[in-house]
Structure 1
């Protein structure tokens, strides 16, 4: 997935000499959390809308240079690295620089998310399964083996949560053999976090629980 076609240039980069009041007005007309700033033609960081609201309108960005945030991506960055940069910096605008640190334009979070929507993980039909196991006890090779040995195919997988040394793994599989895959994960010591109509184990437990409740209420 090429990033070049997603680089936007409709907003000029700010200069360190720009007035705070004018920059606040610019933020008023935009929906971005940050705007890029340069000095002598070289990108030096982004100014946050939250920060600039607290600054003296008569001063310039140079007076508050300490508040600039230096995040960016290169033109050659991969889309997954770009998504990570958006998340780590809590921003919806990401400056793109060339190898000489000159500003090429910016990326918008919605455009990058739309690229993610085009991946088989989201746009192919399938089943989403969330399993959990000790962080040191699971392996992706084991996860793949469990799915594929039960006639399934993995369309995507990632670690969606780590808490108390327990890793939650979100897996998208081809839409077949879900019950056998679920039971195989249980045999390998994984907990099934997501709920599935195909899960005969859970269905049997619920049926027995209903029978027990009915028996106790007689």
Structure 2
């Protein structure tokens, strides 16, 4: 079940294509939205942006500007990570929610989705975060889970946080703070550790000092 659907908002009705730009301008003056959805007989047409509305003739119909609409949206069954990605990609604080027939159901506000995110175990539960990187064709989500669970840790959250070229970056939250054993296991499986860790940094510092001492003794 996608609990995010309980955050679908219908407090403000969508703009209709037959309304004027003045109606959109008034809405943006009253509410700090970056965009707002426009519908035609209940079907989503796109979003008019605050930036565009401010530049248009207030007496013109919204429908006259339909070719300039931004057409981002989410489906009602999309997971919260995908919803957050749509927010980020479109630099918006509001996203229309549609069913499979493109019928407008309501909208998500960024603030509500962030609130939902803070209630997930990924952020709410105490734990440590590791970010690792590996070649896409050598990466396996099941292997990542196995590495963590073989070190008697519990996964609180895991997702692909970045893809650059042929490498994938994975962010993992686990239920323990002493994560050095897990880090070393990842290294044995040829994962690169992207995140900084106190214990790991301490070991690296000892290694650097040891190498320096060896050089000094060999002078």
TM bucket (normalised to shorter chain) is: 0.7 to 0.9
Q: Give the match for residue 145 of structure 1.
A: 146
Q: Give the match for residue 27 of structure 1.
A: 28
Give TM-score, length-normalised by structure 1.
0.85
Give TM-score, length-normalised by structure 2.
0.85
Matches for 1:100-119 after TM superposition, within 5 Å: 101-119=102-120
**Any stretches of 5+ residues in structure 2 without a counterpart?**
none
Whether 2:11 is the aligned partner of 1:14: answer no
SS in 2 for 1:94: strand
Distance 2:21 2:178 in 1: 60
Distance 1:26 1:195 in 2: 45
How far 1:144 sits from its partner (Å)?
1.4
SS in 2 for 1:159: strand
Whether 2:199 is the aligned partner of 1:193: answer no
CA displacement 1:184-207 (0-9 Å, x = unmatched)? 111111111112122254232243
Q: Give the match for residue 154 of structure 1.
A: 155
Distance 1:131 1:30, change over 3 A: same
How far 1:123 sits from its partner (Å)?
0.9
Q: Give the match for residue 136 of structure 2.
A: 135
Task: Verify the 8 A CA contact 1:132 1:191 in the aligned structure 2.
Answer: yes
Distance 1:135 1:25, change over 3 A: same
Q: Give the match for residue 74 of structure 2.
A: 73
How far 1:116 sits from its partner (Å)?
1.5
Comparing 30-39 with 197-206, greater Cα deviation is found at 197-206
Greater helix share, structure number: 2
How far 1:47 sits from its partner (Å)?
0.7
Q: Give the match for residue 49 of structure 1.
A: 50
Distance 2:77 2:193 in 1: 38
Distance 1:110 1:192 in 2: 32
SS in 2 for 1:198: helix
Q: Give the match for residue 206 of structure 2.
A: 204
Distance 2:100 2:134 in 1: 42
Distance 2:134 2:102 in 1: 43
CA RMSD of aligned residues (A): 2.6
| Count of residue pairs brought into register by the alignment | 216
Distance 1:13 1:192, change over 3 A: same
Q: After TM superposition, which residue ranges in structure 1, 4 or more long, deviate above 6 angstroms?
A: none
Distance 1:157 1:177 in 2: 18
How far 1:210 sits from its partner (Å)?
6.2
**Any stretches of 5+ residues in structure 1 without a counterpart?**
none
